[in-house]
Structure 1
């Protein structure tokens, strides 16, 4: 055989030089995967790649690890091995340059269609995305280079799409461009890249935030049509960028950062925009404009527009109210400083404690305050501005170095999370394997080593952020008197209280005098009164910031009036500002929680646990605490009371974790459901034992509780009722129980069920455990309250309506005899698996939804359950999928979001599934917070400002109007998908 030439040898070397040698999770799986890709290369006539992947080298070992760790990158390599093969001829940097040139030119060509442009952009973006990931994981590109490459890629795609659309409008005669070969030049179209795109800081699976403006002067034709012309261009731009096709998508695109997005067109005239910003612009919009950069369209016009905006964004002099508002942006994000350890699993790298957002806010708030006077502080890039802040003496060099180091580390973690499956998520996995995967992707030897480094990073960031927080202007030091002695109001104190945000300062003086005069048990000791006196300025300031200061302080007063002692509480609040802020948030924004803490002050004791926010309230955690709480031989009535006390306290503490951001809405729903399972199970045990003392047992008698509705799907909220069916079974030969007062089986279980209802729902001095609803049992209210297993089986198989079987898709055995629970799970799965006429099921679901629309119309857009495209539509889509065999996930799945994630492709395509899951997560976040804080209907005209802040924080939205626009957009999309799927067009 002839020797291999130098050129051939060079051609067989992959131009990728990993400086990190990653380890796979599973060596055998990695070998299989790399073999599959080698086979795909051979089939695609790529012999050098096939040979390389079948050999043995560091680069080949690196690729094997990458494709084992990232299913997303593995599938791309398997489908398009040519992307890897290109690296024999060009380095990643060279290939990315070539792709960028192709993107710039891809809109050109005689007669190119929009569909062809979409295909070209998707193929080019996918290859660039793939190569950027490989270079990042290999350590060949640092994180700064990675975010820059991703931003350049997105910018190029937007630029090409806009060029195509402008040229197309010129061909249609809608615009008269000065030079159709350079459509963007002097076109009047301004496309601003916001956020991470504007700052060249995009993450791996980021969406891109754009705002579109246009200059009327550049429009030829009827100026009255200009808004419509450019808004249609914006709609087409979004479709080109984010619609999912067989070739994927380019970038998810968001236009909701434009002025007043709920009532403005998608593209806004420059004059109207300038008027808005100068007259009604919010501080969060000023903060957003720091990173704004023209990325497409008429770049010169974009630069001119931003120059016009400079006086609005960069004020030379900031009044106190503006500075306070800037700090309120931080308070909205930061509500949980110093509460014990940080849980790594499930941590939000972007929004969580010590995360990326804290570093960004650290920089941006100081830019807003000082940038008007110091132009050098007006840059877009976070790390560059950290350096500039240090150079100007605003922060220490230590802070600059620490935050720079941790910013890039956290961005690497964020990228690894997103590279696993190309999902727009910032949450670390909650399972051991998932965390190990992220650790390996980042080059750590183990999940423990990564967790240690990650926690240290968050703590360092949080420390610097907290220091900035403490440096915020303090109203309580120097704006006037706070004197509450004597019987006459001090005029200066009244003014101080008014400045702090209280509308009824005289009433507040009266309340505080009552505290200081020792009129409550909590303030009868001199030491407690002294401690409260020291605490009062901070207390008033914290309540003032709730923006319903009077109501919040009155609720706190009611809370104090019920406490037996206060020294420990006052000392704790004085030494722990985070706890004080949390108390103020509860009193100002969460009337439901405030009512709980006022009626049952002992629930506050749970907040004293330093590990509260780092411990996940999962089933094992709750079960252990319930067992300890019920420990000992207790009378029946005491057990029921202790169950009420335990449930109230744990509901409150789950709610506090949700408010503080240590758990998300889904975890809260699961925790509320686990709590219900456990306490209902304990109540059933207690009732059964008490009932058996008098009536004995039925031979082989077994009882189980079947959770329905939100209990079954583990989506309970703080205010949910509980839907149950009680099922029983016994020896067929049994005629009566064996106790002193025997009962026939049917009568026995009916009476037992009635006892359970009373034990759970009857109000006592400790309140109600749960409101029970048994209407989903066979035959509803007309049927017996307890159902024999055989009767349940027969009814569901032969008589049940479609809506009853839809409800059964969320059924879950939650308590009772273990074997009966297992039997019920098998029976429910068998019933759901029965063949059905899919068209009939969809038709019945459609009729039922229309009936709900007619009989229970939504109050308004915020009636999230009932609005068209709301929670009911999502639940119906999931339930119909299960009944018609269009669910591809694990049998027995009851959670709506898990069903939506596993809809069959012929039922809902990938784009629909993503829309539905995003909508469900958004609705769930809003619903959990609203139900946690309020007992009645959500009225957006009367929403406590503190609650509005909580909703913005949990949805990561900058403004209420943006959040409302998001809700409207999502509900319209879901209703369209509902009509497509349930209306029968999905096949």
Structure 2
């Protein structure tokens, strides 16, 4: 502690928290016990956190403890009672404890009563050095020992490890009303684009001994076994110590760290000029340059001097000064700058619990951060930081750079280099590279573009050489370059982010759908820099906020472009999660739907407001958008269109109140046409979604929008069985809560029996036969249209729902569970649904023709389905189809006469 438990300081900290940090104000309201006795909590923050009662749930207990610790740490920090080191140590130690308890819980859930061993958590980054941010994610590597990891009978160790690892991540990362524990970024593991999330420890050791890139050495300066089987982790770190700390000076590694910093400066150029909007982490003279400065000196000298191997930045600077490697004045200046910058970084993150590092560009927001820190305003805050930033920038600029590595220029030497690097078909690869160097594609016709290419070529070739099908990857890369209008920024990004080159290589190898998009919009790769790109997609409300975050008043066209850019990045990132193996395809599918729902909310709302400027509004009604099909079921694929129905509430004879009034029917039809356009018409930023409105009353022949009363009458009197089957997945996705509830109730009444009496089984069987005749499977892996595929499963579910008037949940998995609980459907249909859905979502990316993908891609599909290999994929598909066929056959065998 740096100060006594001063009541005045505590009261002042509480007042600033409530006035300037909505997140802290919320925590104070949620934790009245701590708010009432802050001094007691500050005296023992760990005990205060553990006093939370999670009701026996490990996940909830950890979320509550994190919430309480975040509150106590913030108040202690703001009051000056905890210094910077105490705050970061509290957060880091809690991360250790949370990860350890998550590992123990994940193992205990699967193998109760067994000692939690055989799986270790290696902390990297600021977690490894016990310097976590206030709102930081953690960057662990998960390793396991096949000989000691607990597993179920007849379960392969690698399968058990991945399942345990996924559960650990879920326990830490899942978010609900109590918040979350930590965001988890697993991309620092070896070749994350192709490896499982948990690696065998021996394989990891082999990788770091023989294949690891120089930048990975710097990452392990701060590595630490923090949770799980710590002895296993410490053994791993001891084994790779020679990789991290080499006795010979390694200026190649130093050059790469310097290059990364330089590229970061280029990429974040808007955050370089100090002032409002400055990036405290990546900006010139920022936090990262202090860290890189220390790490470069450690990499140069730490192999010969173990005293320099301190993980924490301040400790490293002190050790370097003590050893005479840097002067004491520089160490003192950098240490002071580091604490000042990190402290204000914490203030930024306390405001809304966001992992942000940029000073607000908005003056009022900057003043707010200054107020939280106890300063008079934004100018005082920037005046306090400016000397630190300028000093760090000067010190880092003084580091001498080295000439960048280049591939050989002559053809014979180039081919030999490519062969030595492990490139398949090096002669063809050399021919492609010579074409690029000769300016054979438009994006490489300038000297600057070719220079940027040369800088990135060594890393690109290394990535392609490590890919499962490097020849395919470099050929697709060549095709992608041919479509790029400009490549300089693209190459600079790849040079600054070596891991992105490997991830891009995996995309080019495995995912033609994503590769084609990348060829049209290379900037999509930029979105993968953010650690959250490979994390689960946020909820709809958070996505809506993000899409509206920079909304320009009245600039409707800008919003259309902005949403298209953002949706494109989100969908690309979701597809990449499957390629990288970081997410379950079912969660990716739900993520696609959340992104689409947020886009509908933002664009339909903006279109409605734009339309109202000319035509006013109708006082007694509003537009409601009803989603059906996969969108209604909140489970899209990368290629899904949106099945939508537009209805309006209120009286159809009403008239709008604008300068150019319209009758309700005309008003809502014109509005819906504009909403359709907002969702589907391409702009300069590309297309968004295909919208299918043929499920509306009377189909394509009917009006685009109908009144709710007209919709009700049609469904109750005239709709066919197939329309009622479609209605089982209806879900309002736009409209006020009240209007949504009214539409929901109308749909519920129809499904519960307010509809024509029809022979549902006969109608469903006839419709399925008609569909099979006119729309055969696209290929042998068409999980949707194959006999026993998802369409048959949907027919079975919807037929039973309508027959028995029960289990009306638009999400198929939950509907199946409800039918099974009622004894109406085989429980194994849920597993069949999950496997078919995972296959559908994955193949839309890697084999859109529904034919077996290339052999190199088949392990990716197996991993996505959670099975061992390609044979298991095929066997699982046949088993799922057999289950669905049997269920559907049982329903059809009941014959006609089932009228509901």
- Say whether residues 1:599 and 2:520 are aligned partners: yes
**Alignment match, 1:584:** 505
1:573 and 2:497 matched: yes
TM-score, with normalisation over the residues of structure 2? 0.55
Q: Which residue of 1 aligns with 2:640?
A: 720
Q: Structure 1's 494 and 570: CA in aligned 2 closer, same or farther, altered over 3 A? A: closer
Greater gyration radius: 1
Question: Do 2:592 and 2:636's aligned partners in 1 also have CA atoms closer than 8 Å?
Answer: yes
1:894 CA drift (Å): 0.8
Residue 136 of structure 1 contacts residue 142 of structure 1 at CA under 8 Å; is this kept in 2? no
- Cα offset, 1:835, TM superposition: 7.0
Partner of 2:531: 610
| Partners of 2:690 and 2:871 in 1: CA distance | 35
1:438-453 equivalences in 2 (<5 Å): none
User: How far 1:748 sits from its partner (Å)?
Assistant: 2.1
Instruction: Work out which of the residue numbers 607, 627, 631 in structure 2 matches 1:687.
Output: 607
| Counterparts in 2 of 1:766 and 1:526: CA distance versus 1, 3 Å | closer
Helix, strand or coil: the match of 1:724? Answer: strand
Q: Offset at 1:562?
A: 2.9
Out of 519, 536, 555, the position equivalent to 1:635 is 555
Match of 1:754?
A: 673
Tell me by how many angstroms 1:818 deviates: 3.1
Aligned-residue RMSD, C-alpha? 4.9
Counterpart of 1:161?
Answer: none
Q: How does 1:439-588 map to 2 (within 5 A)?
A: 484-486=408-410, 492=416, 499-501=423-425, 504-514=428-438, 520=444, 524=448, 528=452, 531-543=455-467, 545-546=469-470, 548-558=472-482, 562-566=486-490, 568-574=492-498, 577=499, 579-588=500-509
Check 1:499–1:487 CA distance in 2 against 1; reply closer, same or farther (3 A cut): closer
Partner of 2:692: 773
SS state at 2:687 partner: coil
Is residue 2:775 matched to residue 1:856? yes
Q: TM-score, normalised by structure 1?
A: 0.51
Partner of 1:316: none
Matched with 1:162 is: none
Q: How does 1:244-323 map to 2 (within 5 A)?
A: none
- Residues 325-365 of structure 1: CA distance to partner in whole angstroms, max 9, x if unpaired? xxxxx9x99999xx99973679999x999899776744589
Aligned twin of 1:399:
236
Matched, 1:899 2:815: yes
Match of 1:621 among 521, 542, 549: 542
Q: Does 1:981 align with 2:811?
A: no
Aligned length: 573
SS in 1 for 2:734: strand
Taking the aligned partners of 1:765 and 1:794, their CA distance within structure 2 comes to 42
TM alignment of 1:930-941, pairs within 5 A: 930-933=843-846, 936-940=848-852
- Once the two structures are superposed, the pairs formed by residues 118-129 of structure 1 within 5 Å of their partners are none
2:587 maps to 1:667: yes
Change (3 A) 1:572 1:837: same
The 1-side partners of 2:413 and 2:205 are apart by: 39
State whether residues 709 and 810 of structure 1, in contact with CA within 8 Å, keep that contact through their aligned partners in structure 2.
yes
Cα distance change of structure 1 residues 208 and 361 upon mapping to structure 2, 3 Å threshold: closer
Aligned to 1:707: 627
Contact 1:552 1:584 in 2 (8 A): no
1:411-422 equivalences under 5 Å are none
Gaps of 5+ in 1: 1-64, 71-131, 146-195, 210-286, 292-329, 369-394, 404-480
Counterpart-to-counterpart distance in 1, 2:415 and 2:570? 44
* Preserved CA contact (<8 Å) 1:548 1:588: yes
Inter-partner Cα distance in structure 2 for 1:961 and 1:397: 37
Change in 2 beyond 3 A, CA 1:562/1:344:
same
Residues 587 and 976 of structure 1, relative CA distance in 2, 3 Å threshold: same
Shift of 1:764: 2.6
Tell me: CA distance 1:493–1:971, structure 2 relative to 1, closer, same or farther (3 Å): same
Match of 1:296 in 2: none
Secondary structure of the residue aligned to 1:565 is helix
Q: 1:760 & 1:902 partners in 2: Cα distance?
A: 34
Q: How does 1:311-460 map to 2 (within 5 A)?
A: 343=173, 361-362=200-201, 398-399=235-236
Q: How many Å separate the matches in 2 of 1:541 and 1:673?
A: 36
Partners of 1:133 and 1:805 lie apart in 2 by: 45
Whether the aligned pair in 1 keeps the contact of 2:652 and 2:664 (CA below 8 Å) is no
Output the CA distance in 2 between the equivalents of 1:599 and 1:335: 36
Say if 2:841 is the partner of 1:921.
no
Task: For 2:164 and 2:579, locate their aligned partners in 1 and report how far apart those are by CA, in whole Å.
Answer: 11
Residue in 2 that maps onto 1:45? none
Q: Deviations over 1:858-907 (max 9, x none)?
A: 2443111111110011112221232223645xx5x210111111114564
SS in 2 for 1:726: strand
- The CA deviation at 1:400 is 9.8
Shift of 1:694: 2.7
> Secondary structure, in 3 states, of the residue corresponding to 1:727?
strand
CA distance in 1, matches of 2:564, 2:199: 44
**Distance in 1 between the 2:604 and 2:441 partners?**
49
